[in-house]
A = this chain, B = another copy of it.
Amino acid sequence: MVMPQALLEKSVGRRVSLLLKDGRILEGRLEGSDEYMNMVLEETTETATDGEARRLGSVILRGSNVVSISVC
């Protein structure tokens, strides 16, 4: 059995792809997370629903906006 929080903590240092509630996708290297699944990403790229991408660098993300986290 793999607990969600445990997998998230184990994924620090790896690249993750986050699907947000508004359809955006954020890809970056996971630097840390907390109990609310707030996360810190580095070298982040945001892709909007129309496919437009922008580089965001260092990002704090609120967990309440996250639908799913794919570990690459």
Task: Give the B-binding residues of A (Cβ under 8 A).
Answer: 1-8, 12, 20-24, 26, 31-34, 37-40, 44, 46, 56-72
Please tell me if the beta carbons of A31 and B67 are within 8 angstroms of each other in the complex.
no
How often does this chain occur in the complex, in copies? Answer: 7
Once A1-B32, A31-B1, A40-B3 are accepted as A-B contacts, the answer to whether A62 and B63 lie under 8 Å apart by CB is: yes
- Show 19 residue pairs from A and B whose CB-CB distance is below 8 angstroms, ordered by the A residue: A1-B12, A2-B31, A3-B34, A3-B40, A4-B33, A4-B60, A6-B32, A7-B60, A21-B22, A21-B65, A22-B23, A44-B70, A56-B68, A57-B71, A59-B68, A60-B69, A60-B71, A65-B67, A65-B68
Once A56-B68, A57-B71 are accepted as A-B contacts, the answer to whether A3 and B32 lie under 8 Å apart by CB is: yes
